């Protein structure tokens, strides 16, 4: 039929979904006890599999998201791949990532980049485990039949630069040594440190401006060219002030949220999703959504990954506000974990 070829609007197979932190943590901790990392670039990662995607281990049609667990004094051996990757650190004391010989020690709230075909490994120098959220464009890479993956011949990379070298050299990414040419393809920093991100959020809070759909939100960008941090997906950090209820809109891009701090709910196409710290939430493309911080005194902070840069690069992106009911959806049900 004609509408199978040219549908009237996006019809994503991915469905809105919520994964609760307590359940994910128990599974990840169990994997930490049962699964040993072996040579060959193995990782201990729990993929967030969207129930609407017929068993595919993807969060949306374009995003692969996973919770990765690293035991204390453990090394996840080096590998590299064509898929673009990033990590948002949930728990870390003494863990690190080494990318192309540059070792960065990780802290809660750090956002770490891993551009294509760069060797990377992870490790820990003490007995404390680490947890982070992985985000990769694996579904897009596989759809294009462009996947490459290689394992390193060593069990860990040789550190060839000073510890935290890119942070020492480029600061928060807004500076570069005068003798170097601009780096345009990817951000010069390999990590956006949480203390700088929080400072920026608090600065935005003082600026007395806000978005009606996201309240206070910042995108992680390449400060050398103004583009998103990665080419096929981007990442944002969002602060919703106490008692703020945003208005609804929809856009041609899918989002996966991690609730970094706080509690509240989101309404997605008329369904209410109650969330709290540590939960993960999927908003499919072209789904109306709005957020509410239910606390009267505490900010809610949400980290999110979106395929918007890909949609914009292909001239497919558009957005639309909800015009009825003063911009708020009518809630017809509450998410219970069943389709």
Ramachandran bin of 315, using left for φ above 0, alpha for ψ from -120 to 50, beta for the remaining angles: left
Q: Is residue 336 part of a domain?
A: no
CATH code for position 314:
2.60.120.10
What does the DSSP assignment read for 171-194?
Answer: TTTT---TTSPP--SS-S-SEE-H
In whole angstroms, give the CA distance from residue 293 to residue 302.
Answer: 11
Residue 195 located in a structural domain: yes
Domain contains 32: yes
Computed over every residue of the chain, the mean pLDDT equals 93
Q: Is the pLDDT of residue 293 over 60?
A: yes
- Asked, for residue 7, whether it belongs to a domain, the answer is no
Q: Are strands 111-114 and 191-192 parallel, antiparallel or unpaired?
A: antiparallel
Tell me if the pTM is above 0.75. Answer: yes
Q: Which residue has the higher pLDDT, 208 or 217?
A: 217
User: Does residue 6 lie within any of the structural domains?
Assistant: no
Per-residue pLDDT band at 56 (split at 50, 70, 90): very high
* Residue 40: band (very low, low, confident or very high) from pLDDT cuts 50, 70, 90: low
Pairing of strands 271-276, 333-334: parallel
Residue 41: is its pLDDT beyond 70? no
Q: Which residue has better confidence, 195 or 183? A: 195
64 contacts 47 by C-beta, under 8 angstroms: yes
Asked whether residue 78 carries a pLDDT value surpassing 70, the answer given is yes
Residue 235 counted as domain residue: yes
Question: What's the average model confidence in pLDDT over 107-129?
Answer: 95
What is the rounded CA–CA span in Å between residue 302 and residue 275?
11
Are 247 and 321 contacting, i.e. CB atoms less than 8 angstroms apart?
yes
Q: Count CB neighbours of 242 within 10 A.
A: 14
**pLDDT tens string 254-280:** 999 999 999 999 999 999 999 999 999
Domain of 94 in residue numbering reads as: 13-322
Residue 8 lies in a domain: no
Q: Would you state the structure tokens that stand for residue 193, as one six-digit string?
A: 């440190």
Answer whether 114's CB lies under 8 Å from 84's CB: yes
What whole-number distance in Å separates Cα of residue 147 and Cα of residue 27? 28
Cα(294)–Cα(243) distance, integer angstroms: 5
The kind and range of the H/E element at 205 are helix 194-206
Three-state secondary-structure class, residue 167: helix
Q: Are strands 191-192 and 216-219 parallel, antiparallel or unpaired?
A: unpaired
The answer to the question of residue 1 being in a domain is no
How many structural domains compose the chain? 1
Distances (CA, A) of 333 to 78, 179, 271, 272, 338: 46, 59, 5, 6, 12
What is the per-residue pLDDT across 298-337, written as a single tens digit (0 to 9) for each?
Answer: 999 999 999 999 999 999 999 999 999 999 999 999 999 8
């Amino acid at each position: 039929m004609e509408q199978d070829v040219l549908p009237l609007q996006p019809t994503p197979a991915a469905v809105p979904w919520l994964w609760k932190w307590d359940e994910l943590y128990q599974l990840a901790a169990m994997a930490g006890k049962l699964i040993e990392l072996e040579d060959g670039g193995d990782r201990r990662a729990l993929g967030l599999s969207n129930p609407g995607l017929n068993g595919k281990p993807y969060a949306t049609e374009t995003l692969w998201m996973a919770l990765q667990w690293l035991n204390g004094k453990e090394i996840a051996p080096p590998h590299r791949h064509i898929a673009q990757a990033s990590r948002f650190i949930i728990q870390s004391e003494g863990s690190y990532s080494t990318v192309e010989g540059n070792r960065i020690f990780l802290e809660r709230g750090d956002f770490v980049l891993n551009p294509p075909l760069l060797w990377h490994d992870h490790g820990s120098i003490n007995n404390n485990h680490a947890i982070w959220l992985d985000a990769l464009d694996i579904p897009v890479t596989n759809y294009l039949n462009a996947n490459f993956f290689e394992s390193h011949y060593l069990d860990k990379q040789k550190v060839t630069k000073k510890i935290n070298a890119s942070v020492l050299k480029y600061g928060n990414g807004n500076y570069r040594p005068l003798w170097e040419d601009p780096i345009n393809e990817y951000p010069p920093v390999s990590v956006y440190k949480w203390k700088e991100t929080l400072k920026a959020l608090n600065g935005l809070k003082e600026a007395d401006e806000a978005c009606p759909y996201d309240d206070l939100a910042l995108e992680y960008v390449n400060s050398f060219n103004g583009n998103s941090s990665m080419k096929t997906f981007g990442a944002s950090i969002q602060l919703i002030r106490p008692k703020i209820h945003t208005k609804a809109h929809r856009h041609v891009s899918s989002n996966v949220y991690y609730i970094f701090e706080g509690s509240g709910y989101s309404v997605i196409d008329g369904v209410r999703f109650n969330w709290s710290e540590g939960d993960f939430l999927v908003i499919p493309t072209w789904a109306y959504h709005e957020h509410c911080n239910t606390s009267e005194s505490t900010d809610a902070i949400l980290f999110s990954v979106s395929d918007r840069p890909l949609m914009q690069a292909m001239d497919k992106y558009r957005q639309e506000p909800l015009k009825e009911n003063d911009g708020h959806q009518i809630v017809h049900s509450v998410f219970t974990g069943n389709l």
